[in-house]
Amino acid sequence: MRIISKNLIEKLFWVGIFGLAMGFLEAIVVVYLRDIYYPAGFGFPMSPVSPQMYMVELVREVATILMLLALGFLVGKNGIQKMAYFLISFAAWDIIYYIALKLFLDWPPSLLTWDILFLIPLPWLGPVLAPVIVSLTMIWLGTSLLLLEEANGQVFLKTEDWLLLLFGTGLIFASFVLNYSALIVQGNYLSKFLTLSQNHEFLKVVYAYTPEKFNWVMFGVGEIIVFSGSIRLLIRYRKVIQYTGKELRTQLHDIRHHLFNSHLQR
């Protein structure tokens, strides 16, 4: 019995290649943008852009997500696999993006450097370390789901699993948008939320803002909850994991035995 099929290895390889290419492509776009808007180097407060350019960036981000979703739907055979491949491709894209920026621009100077991470539905802010941690968690979760399906045939997430994963994800999302959410509430822009991307007054506030504190507690709790949800899933399929571990040890023993016999025959 093969612990990981050749088919799964090939899919993971090509999904990784896709994430690698997208990461470099995204970084190249950002290199162009920073050359235009941040010739002295990126930092806060941000350089203002026109509402039209802001909308262009929103469309670009939507297109990026749709591409990753399309990849998941093309590669995965069922809902769990589609989600898993989406998570892995998204994470690979995000990690490679920062590696490429470091290669091209020698940025960020450290993992605690603040960055604007996303714009949908409002700007996400956080130190670079935070999205890297999220990406590693996504790779862990996506890979775990695929390996469980490889060994079990099909994996089912119970309502409790979904609640843990969604609640933890919600806390992580909240930690990223907390800064700008506070600006919206304090500036009484909540009633104008759907038109904020075209609101010149709000955009002035955004471009004058410099983040100072990231809510690591909220972020950390969210990560722990997501991780707990994945561990709960692994525990439920522990018999499959134990069986897979036994098969893996058997395969390793057979390989060592084969190598030893081959050495004696020489």
Per-residue pLDDT tens over the stretch 225-262: 999 998 888 887 765 544 444 554 555 555 565 555 65
Q: What is the DSSP letter of 212?
A: -
The Cα-based distances of 109 to 24, 35, 213, 225 in angstroms read 18, 17, 18, 30
- Helix (H) or strand (E) run with residue 177 in it: helix 159-186
Output the pTM of the full model.
Answer: 0.84
Distance CA 224, CA 206 (A): 31
Q: How confident is the model at residue 40 (pLDDT cuts 50, 70, 90)?
A: confident
According to DSSP, the residues that pair with 157 across neighbouring strands are none
Residue closest to 149 by CA, chosen among 251, 237, 235, 242: 237
Question: Measured between alpha carbons, how far apart are the two ends of the chain, in Å?
Answer: 29
Residues 85, 142: contact at Cβ < 8 Å?
A: yes
Give the 3-state secondary structure of residue 83.
Answer: helix
Distance CA 219, CA 152 (A): 32
Distance CA 232, CA 227 (A): 9
Strands 124-127 and 114-118, sheet pairing: antiparallel
The larger pLDDT score, comparing residue 191 to residue 61, is at: 61
Q: Which pLDDT score is estimated for 256?
A: 61
Q: Which pLDDT score is estimated for 1?
A: 41
Residue ranges covered by each domain of the chain: 6-259
Give the range among 23-32, 38-47, 237-246 with minimum mean pLDDT: 237-246
Residues 172, 223: contact at Cβ < 8 Å?
A: yes
